[in-house]
Structure formats: C-alpha cells, structure tokens
Chain A
Amino acid sequence: MGIKILTEHIDNPELKKFEVYRKTGGYTAVEKALKTMSPDGVMEEVKKSGLRGRGGAGFPTGMKWSFLDRKSEKPHYLVCNADEGEPGTFKDRYLLERNPHALIEGIILSGYALGVEDAYIYLRGEFFYILQILEKAIAEAYEKGFLGKNILGSGYSLNLYCHPGAGAYICGEETALLESLEGKRGNPRLKPPFPAVSGLYNCPTVINNVETLATIPWIVNHGGDQYAQIGVGRSTGTKLISASGHIKNPGVYELEMGFPVEEFIYSDQYCGGMKNGKPLKAVVAGGSSVPILPAGLILKTANGEPRNISYESLAEGGFETGTMLGSGGFIVMDESTCIVRNLYNFTRFYRHESCGQCSPCREGTSWMEKILYRIENGEGRMHDIDLLVDISNNIEGKTICPLGDAAAWPVASAIRHFRDEFVEHVNRKGCWFD
C-alpha cells in the first residue's frame, strides 16, 4: 500500500475525537505554522506542493490563494465546499465522518495563510449526522484553543461555522454555493468578478473542497517540496478515489497519483475486479459529469500507453479518446449495463438539478431526457441520435456555469463510443438488457 496522507489513521473509529486525533500528530501543523511561520510562508509551501483542487476542476490551490484580493479593506472569507453532490463521489463524506479534525486543522492553516477571520463549511443538507459530528469537533477545537480568539497566543483569531445546504446539486458550484450561503436560491453568478475579488457578501473569498483543505496539514508538516515528490508530473500527492458500480470492493481508496488504472480495478487490495464475473464494459472515471470510456480506452490510451490515475493520463487523447479525473468518482460498469439507460438516468439527474437560469441548459437537458427515454423505450428514431449530439453541442460552453457542460459531456461521449448500441435500440425498438 502506498503513502497515506489523508487516511493513515482513518480506520480508528475514535479518530473523530480531538484527543485521539491529537495523539496521531494532529494539530502539530497549526502549532508549527502559528509559532514559526508567516502567513506568506504557509502560502509558499502550498504553492511549492503543486496541490490542485480536489473538488473537480483541479485548479492549483496556491495560485487560487494568490488571487485573493488581500489589499481589500473588506473582510476575507474562506469557505469549505462540503456539498458533495456529484454522482459517484463519496470521498468527502468519508473524510468528514471519520476525520473531521483534519479538515478543521486544514481550515485553520488556510485561514492563517489567507488572513481570514471567519470561515464556513457549506455541508450537504442530507448529511444531518455529519453536521452533528462537525458541530462537536468544532466545539472541541474552540475549547482547546485552536479556534476563536488569539489561537495559541499567536494573535491570530479564526471563527469557524458549519452551514447546512438543503438538497441541490447546483449548490456545489462555487458561486451558487455562495448565493445559498447568503440564504438565496442557488443560482450561479456570472464571472467575473471571481470570488477571490467579490465572493461571500461581495467580499474576497476563497472556496476549496474538503479533500483539498484536509491535505494542507500534511503539507505544512512535511513541506511543499516533499509533497511535490509524491505523485507524477503535475499531478502531485495522493487522491481519494470513490469506487462504485459492478466491482467486488466498492469504497474510498487513497492512491498515489500515477497509480495504474488496471491494477486499481483488478487488484484485490482495491476494487477486486468485477463482482458478477462479467467483463468490464465501461468506466466513468471522475464523477457522472466526465466522458464515459469503454473498457479498452480506460485501461490504455489510444496510443496503447497504460492509463494511470492522474489529471494528465486520464485526459490523454482529449475528449476523442480520453476523459477527466474530475472528482475521482470512479463508476465501473460490466457487460450487463445498458449504456442508453444509464445515460438516460444521468440526463434525468441533470435536468432535475439544472437551476433553470440559462435556456440551453434548462431546455436542452429536458429535451435530451425525453429523447433518451424514447430510445430506451422503443420509440426512438434514427435521427434522434444525431439530434442528441447536436443538442449537447448547443449546451456545451453556452451557460453561466459548467452544469451545462456536465450534462452535455456524458451524452456526447456515450454516443461517440457506443453509437452502435443506440442504433441497435432504434432498430430493435427498445432495450434488450434486463
């Protein structure tokens, strides 16, 4: 088993308690930073680490931080994105329920680097029980002097609050999240201005994913250079992969970036291969929004290179033959899966979750859903297949936020790689899978 940055002690059911986390070396990074490092020093280590945002877009965290308008007289905010809504993704939940103090420690360090006095965790609404875990952990951190006024006598003060959402996938998009945190409907904002300049309450704001922030303590403890040595190329460090679907061992796995996809799927230490003994058909590697790849192209690139878990390797070949690491939601499908039905399910999801602001997304998702429904149920026409491609092209890149792209890519990629199966549905007047 490779290096563990986020999950080393995660099997200890008591880890969520302050004392237990502390015994595993918890909060030493806060002591180190507040006593011996300047805020810029912390920022420098994060830049050196090469850490990229784990929420899906993979934007370099240090660079994002450096965009924060620090000269602004207004308060600065740090918001943790714990909305985890991307189908196939459940790794933040795993961290939150088992290791909440790692996130809190990461928030203290990030807040210190950014000159933030108030931070919020925007938590997915359905996670009532995690809200209770977080409230408890935050109260402990206050009690022990790691949150609140003048932390460890350093002069640095930070308040941290947890804020529950109420069931809307779109609120994972960072500007919709800010609207929601302000008590409004989750309609994404036009950018610019970017949150770094005008975010929460129109103040400079940094938004980072749970996994991103929970990695910061390790970086402060060991140094950015050491973090950058883990992984491969511009994909530094480790990544939590949420594995689901037709595999023997679904679950969350921490992998060093660069880990071979084939070994991940078939090794008993990880997914353990296909659970019903049927061959692998396809994988959606980065949460439901990223392009689906057939077995051949997920295991090897079009050039025959073995694929590995990293931003670059999964993207190799562009959208023609590649995909994206996204949130690391790894959905595995065997030969019994109907690609049309699965796509209908995801498209129904995006139609349901579209906020309705932009017509290409609002109208396009419901149109695609209807077409997919009729193809699956025997009413499809041959030209429906190209119509789907056409609609998806007219959504992609034409909306305020990337939910439109997220709805378009699965459609375009399923038809690109599995066109025959769509044709067959039209010819046979419906679906032949169970």
Chain B
Amino acid sequence: MDNEIKFSAESLELVNRIIARYPEGKQKSALLPVLHIAQAEFGGWLSTETMNYVAGLLKLEPIEVYEVATFYNMFNLAPVGQCVIEVCQTGPCMLNGAGEIIQHISKRLDIKPGETTPDGKFTLKTVECLAACGSAPVMRVGNRYHENLSTEKVDSLIEEWCKCGKSSHDNPYNE
C-alpha cells in the first residue's frame, strides 16, 4: 500500500458524529455506517488494512469487523472497478427483462457478473430485489438508482460513464 489508510479530517469528523448517535460504550453500533464511509474513501472495497483501521477507530477486535464485513452484501472484499454496476436479478425484475439487461451489459463490457473489466473501469454485479420492482428492470450505481431500463438506456449510460470516468464509490452521507 503506498497511501496510508487514514480518514480525511472531514470523514473523521463525520465518523465521530455518527459514533455519538449511540449510547456510551456502544460504539460498535457505528460499524456499518463507518464501513460504508471507509469503502467509499479507500477504493470501493475493504482491504484487511482498512478493516483493521476501522477496528482501531471503534475500539473493536479486528475479527469483529471481519465477521461483519463478510456477512453483508454491500461490502466488497476484493478490489472492484471504478464504477460498480449492480443489476437486480430477482423475480419481478426478471419478469420484466432483467435477464436481457444483464446479458447486454455483460456482452458490451465483455465480462461476466462478478467480474471487472481489464482496464479497471467497470464491475458488473447481480444483486437481489432493490425495492424498486414497479420500475423494473432496475440497477443501482453508487448513490443512484436507474430504473425502467432498456438496452438503449443502458448503452447511453455506459457511454456517458466511459466519457466522464464515473466512480460509484460514493460516501452515503455526501450528495
């Protein structure tokens, strides 16, 4: 690692504000929100170094962080692309063409779900119901939902993201 794992002053202040939302001695409650912030700040995934750093901040044993990070789907435990595309693959979306959308993105980026493009720009993930089934098919990219997808809509989004070097590693607390 060339850059040391340490939150910016701004993030650290946010983290402290979040810790203060839980009773004295219950700072472990802040673990999920703090892991989200850490994932956003340290490259879109949680390395062992990142998890150890969070453990230190919250006065936890590293194992308490590992066991949580491995339980929740939103935490990436290996490096991901700059822009992670999460397409819903659950029933109601499947009834309305999610399969076609997944295939289309897969072909267009030449990767299978779970993989990252060789240039490190995109990762394609399939995820479960995003609570947007009325506007299926749906995908989530960072802090945005894209709904009522068609292959054309997906194409124009990907083109735009290629141009602007889109990152999906959003801090959930920042707009």
| CB <8 Å contact, B173 and A132 | yes
- Asked if A164 and B33 make an inter-chain contact with CB atoms under 8 angstroms apart, the answer reads yes
Report the separation of the CA atoms of residues A345 and B132 in the bound assembly, to the nearest whole angstrom.
Answer: 17
Does B108 have its Cβ within 8 Å of any Cβ on chain A? no
A132 → B minimal CB distance (Å): 6
- Indicate whether A231 reaches chain B with its CB closer than 8 angstroms: no
Kindly state whether residue A181 has any CB partner on chain B within 8 Å: yes
Smallest Cβ-Cβ distance to A180: which chain B residue: B32
- Interface secondary structure of A, over-half rule: mixed
Chain B residues touching A, range: 35 or more
Q: Which residues of A sit under 8 angstroms from B29, Cβ to Cβ? A: 163, 181-183
Question: Which of B58, B71, B90 meets A349, CB within 8 Å?
Answer: B90
The reply on B151 being an interface residue by CB < 8 A is no
Known: A131-B172, A166-B72. A88 touches B133 (CB 8 A): yes
Q: Which residues of B contact A128 (CB under 8 A)?
A: 142-143, 170, 172
Contact between chains at B92 and A87 (CB < 8 Å):
yes
A16 at the B interface (CB under 8 A): no
Q: Say yes or no for B4: interface residue by CB 8 A criterion.
A: no
Whether a CB of chain A sits under 8 angstroms from the CB of B107 is no
Q: A164–B32 contact, CB under 8 A? A: yes
CB atoms of B32 and A163 under 8 A apart: yes
- For residue B175, CB closer than 8 A to chain A, the reply is yes
State whether B172 touches A246 (Cβ < 8 A). Answer: no
* Shortest distance between the CB of B130 and any CB in chain A (Å): 6
> Residue B162 at the A interface, CB < 8 A?
no
Question: Which B residues are in CB contact (< 8 Å) with A127?
Answer: 131
Q: Do the beta carbons of B131 and A92 come within 8 Å of each other?
A: yes
Q: Are A185 and B134 in contact (CB under 8 A)?
A: no
Contact of A337 among B30, B95, B129 (CB under 8 A): B95
Residue in B closest to A89 when the chains form the complex, CB atoms:
B131
| Set of chain B residues within 8 Å of A84, measured between Cβ atoms | 131
Chain A contacts for B143, CB-based, 8 A: 128-129, 132
A residues contacting the other copy or chain, number (CB 8 A) = 58
Flag whether B157 is at the interface (Cβ < 8 A): no
Per-position contact with A for B126-158: 1 when CB-CB < 8 Å, else 0?
Answer: 011111111110001011110000000000000
Within 8 Å by CB of A165, from B72, B133, B142, lies B72
- Contact yes or no, B91 A349, CB < 8 A: yes
Q: B73 near A166 (CB under 8 angstroms)?
A: yes
B12 adjacent to chain A (CB < 8 Å): no
CB distance from A117 to the nearest CB of B (A): 11
Tell whether, in the assembled complex, residue A183 and residue B92 are in contact, meaning their CB atoms are under 8 Å apart.
no
CA distance A163 to B18 in the complex (A): 9
**A contact residues vs B (CB 8 Å cutoff):** 75, 84-90, 92-93, 118, 124-129, 131-132, 135, 159, 161, 163-169, 180-186, 201, 242-246, 250-252, 284, 288, 329, 331, 333, 337, 342, 345-346, 349, 352-353, 355
Beyond A93-B131, A168-B73, A342-B91, 14 additional pairs, beta carbon < 8 A: A86-B129, A125-B72, A125-B74, A128-B142, A128-B172, A163-B32, A165-B72, A167-B72, A183-B32, A183-B58, A184-B68, A245-B92, A245-B96, A329-B133
Q: Would you list 14 pairs from A and B whose C-beta atoms are within 8 A, ordered by A residue?
A: A87-B90, A90-B131, A165-B32, A167-B74, A180-B32, A182-B29, A183-B31, A183-B32, A184-B68, A185-B68, A242-B133, A244-B95, A342-B94, A353-B128
Shortest Cβ-Cβ A-B pairs, 3 listed: A166-B72, A167-B73, A183-B31
